[in-house]
Every structure is written in structure tokens, then in C-alpha cells.
Chains A and B, each alone.
Chain A
Amino acid sequence: MKSAKITYIALLSALAAVFGYIESLFPLPVPIPGIKLGLSNIVILFALVKMDGRSAFFIMLIKVLICSVLFSGMNSFLYSLFGGILSFAAMCTAKKFNFSIVGTSMAGGVFHNLGQILAAAIFLSSPAALYYFPILSVCGLFVGAAVGILCKIIISRLK
């Protein structure tokens, strides 16, 4: 049982990293920093729903580490980690409050962007990044909903 779980975590981490890589190949042509699809959140959401919180947290951590080292550079490590941890905490809370998959994903999307804005504010030692809060939180909502719907479809197909 234990090794089966480790294998699943490894497999899903690799999948999340691949999604992160694919995403880094196609930056969205919008003039707002920090907007992306968050495809790898499908994997983390899947793990949270189908496995447990601890496994999902490990997958998120491994994904952030791999993607920072290999693709996006250590500069973005802080942002990804902040966003990842806050998004994960939000999704766990949402799940506890009996949100649906789509709702959980929306919470994750919003708080991922909030985490990145906070990281930027700390990194720049300036509150200037907070200017992006309104647009980024709404974008996080819609992107999160899209990811949640995708994840729901995947889970229903896997049955």
C-alpha cells in the first residue's frame, strides 16, 4: 500500500511537471503578469479529491521545485511556492467546507494569484503589485473554474 502511494505521487508529480513545461512553452499573450492556465492544478486537484491532502501537498511541492529548477528559473521559485502553498491551503479549506470540485478549484485559482501578488509585494518591497489584485483574482476565478470542470470530466471518465 505504501509503495503504491509513493508510485502514484511520483507519477502525478511528473505529470504536473509536464503540464508546467507545456504551459511555459505557450505564454498567454496578455499584458498582465502572472496569468496562466494552471494546467498542473488539474493534477493537484485530482490528487486532493482522489487521494489525500498530504499526497496532494507533496505533488505540489515537487512540481514547484522541478519546474523552477528546469524551466522557469529560481527567480520564479518564490512566487510559485507562495502561490502553491496558499492555493493548496485554500483548496483544503474549500474541500472541508464541502465545496464541489469546481468550487474547490476556483478557491485554489483565486488564492494562487493572491499568493503570487503577496510574494511580489514582498520581493519588490513595495505594495505596487497589489494593483493587479482585482484583475488577477477574477482571472483566477475563471481559470480555476475551467480547471475544475476539466478535473471533473477526468474523474468521471476514470470511473
Chain B
Amino acid sequence: MKKRDFLFALCVITVAISAFFVIKMTVKDADTVRITVDGRLFCEKPLSTDCVIDINGTNTAVIENGSVYMKSATCPDKLCVHQGKVSDSAKKIICLPNKVVIEVIKRTDIDTVVK
């Protein structure tokens, strides 16, 4: 390996670490689960209330004890199911085949939009 190889590796690691901290810094106490399908808002639910959400029959999300996880999905790889529980805004559950994104966000507004 050459010197410039290491330089490149160092650059990538530096960018990755700074990006990691930028993402971590934007973490806020979240209270709302927002589910988007294909870039459009599907529903928003409070994180404090346990419930089961059926997303267009393709995915099932579960809110339980202040965190949200994907219980089942129709896609073959099931990556979204394996992504586990999410309770802060730094993590997201993404199901690429079904274009489903589950985020946990901060919503101080009194009303939540429930579809």
C-alpha cells in the first residue's frame, strides 16, 4: 500500500466520524413515530401509546414500551425486521422493497395527524 492509500483511508474515516457526530448531535428526545411510504406521509402516532400499525398490508410496525420496531414484512430479505427497536431520532427503520421509512421524531404540537 502507498502513502496516498492511507491518506484516502484517513480522509474517509474522518468524514465518516464527523458525519456520525453530526447525526448524533441532531438527536432529540423523540415522542412521535412517523411512517412514510414512497416519500409520502402514511401516519404519525405517539410513541407513548402501544399499538400495532398495518402499513398497506406489506409491513407491520409495532409501538411498544416507548420504542418502535418492524414486526413483519413481505419483502424477502427482511432487513427492516432485523433492524430491531428504535426509540431515538438517530435511527430509522427502512424497508427498501416496500419503500417504507419509519422515523421517530420530536413533535411538540398538541395534535398528531393520524390517518
Task: List residues of chain A with CB under 8 Å of any chain B CB.
Answer: 27, 31, 33, 75, 79, 94, 97-100, 102-103, 106-107, 110, 120, 123-126, 128-129, 131, 133-135, 137-138, 140-141, 145
Contacts and interface: CB of A to CB of B under 8 A. Distances in A.
Contacts of A126: 36, 39, 101
B4 A134 contact: no
Interface string B41-72: 00000000000000000000000000000000
A99 B39 contact: no
B113 interface: no
A110 B12 contact: yes
Interface string B72-92: 000001010011100000111
Contact of B17 (A120, A124, A134): A134
Contacts of B79: 31, 33
Size category, B interface: 20 to 34
B8 A137 contact: no
B16 A124 contact: no
B2 A141 contact: no
Which secondary structure dominates chain B's binding surface? mixed
A125 B38 contact: yes
Given A125-B38, A131-B92, A98 B4 contact: yes
B9 interface: yes
Contacts of A141: 9, 12-13
Contacts of B91: 131
Contact of A100 (B5, B12, B19, B20): B5
B94 A27 contact: no
A129 B94 contact: yes
Given A31-B83, A133-B16, 6 more contacts: A33-B96, A100-B5, A107-B8, A124-B38, A124-B99, A134-B17
Contacts of B84: 31
B14 to A, nearest CB: 11
